[in-house]
Amino acid sequence: MTSDGLPDSYKNLFSKLKPEASKSDINRISIRENAFRKVVSGKETEVLESSVLKLVIVKTAPISRMYYAGQFVPGEHNPPTCWSDDHASGRPSKNVLEGKQHITCFDCKQNIKGSGQGNSRACRFRQRIAIMLTDDDGELTDDTVYQLDLPSTSIFGSDQKKMSMQAFAKYLNSNKTPIATVLVEARFDEDSHIPKLYFKAVRPLEENEILIAMHAQKDPDTKELVKLVFKSNASQNNNTESVFDVVEGEGVYVQE
């Protein structure tokens, strides 16, 4: 539908309407091949030179599980065979219409070590977070929000010198520090042969930075950015990069 032939008052109204965002419109940060990559509207636009990313985490989704029956197919973005929106529930998502592997995740054969490559599990943990990036001076000035998908290697771990997402969130929680009020440094673990991030608090945000982060955190679009939604799970091809959208949830820890 176009605005041709409409009165000027209607044309002005149409110009102010916000177009509905599609999956391809989402801004993302990819960590493929141990490099931070900006993906805008479905296309990679920049490979960041630094192995360190300064950011603010404005929202996180519950940890999810995903199982793919097929092999990895570069360039294809198909839904998993079976998945759980929130691994704490211990059950596959109610939206899994075909390919459910078991009634519970914990007793599933895909959750056994060795069911995947090597000694890994075929059903893998993932977590999506929404982040904002600082400028070249390390200050939060841009209100653009990006998706960042974390593999299990970046979610779990007990190393306090190289804190995983869960360890970092618990550390902040123990100090009663809301995660969205801290400037965070995300680094690639150079000792890992696969993409693995660890996190470190750099400094508290300044008041003007907190306002930017709070506005993004309350924006409904940010909540949608971290939801887990699949249209169908009929296709069985595997892609572990950007096949999922969002999960209901406010964070990786409960703020008291």
The pLDDT of residue 151: 93
Flag whether pLDDT at 218 surpasses 60. Answer: yes
Domain holding 101, by residue range, is 50-225
The pLDDT of residue 55: 98
Flag whether pLDDT at 173 surpasses 70. Answer: yes
Structural domains in the chain (count): 1
Q: Does residue 252 lie within any of the structural domains? A: no
Flag whether pLDDT at 126 surpasses 70. Answer: yes
How many whole angstroms separate alpha carbon 176 and alpha carbon 204?
Answer: 13
The pLDDT of residue 72: 56
Specify the pTM.
Answer: 0.78
Q: Does residue 111 lie within any of the structural domains? A: yes
Q: Does residue 40 lie within any of the structural domains? A: no
pLDDT tens-digit map of 127-144: 999 999 999 999 999 999
Q: Does residue 255 lie within any of the structural domains? A: no
Q: Does residue 14 lie within any of the structural domains? A: no
Nearest-5° Cα angle at 142, 256 to 49: 100
pLDDT tens-digit map of 1-57: 444 555 665 555 445 444 444 444 789 999 999 999 999 888 899 999 898 999 999
Q: Does residue 253 lie within any of the structural domains? A: no
Flag whether pLDDT at 99 surpasses 50. Answer: yes
Average pLDDT over residues 211-235: 83
The pLDDT of residue 41: 82
Range with the lowest mean pLDDT among 78-87, 183-192, 223-232, 242-251? Answer: 242-251
Q: Does residue 202 lie within any of the structural domains? A: yes
Flag whether pLDDT at 122 surpasses 80. Answer: yes
pLDDT tens-digit map of 146-169: 999 999 999 999 888 999 999 999
The pLDDT of residue 231: 59
